[in-house]
Structure 1
Amino acid sequence: MLKRSLVLSVLALILGFSFSAQAHPPTRVIAQAASKVLKDSVKKIREDDEGVVVLFVKTPGSYYLRRTTANFDALKKKLDESLKSKSEISVTYDSAELNILEVK
Structure 2
Amino acid sequence: MSLGLLKPVVVESPANKHRQTVVTVASLEAFLEDRILVSEVAAIYSTSTNTILDAMQGAGIRPIYDNCNNVSRFFRKADIVDARVETSQLRKPRT
- Smaller-chain TM-score bracket: under 0.3
TM-score, normalised to structure 2's length? Answer: 0.23
TM-score, normalised to structure 1's length? Answer: 0.22
| Greater C-alpha Rg | 1
As a proportion of its length, which structure holds more strand?
Answer: 1
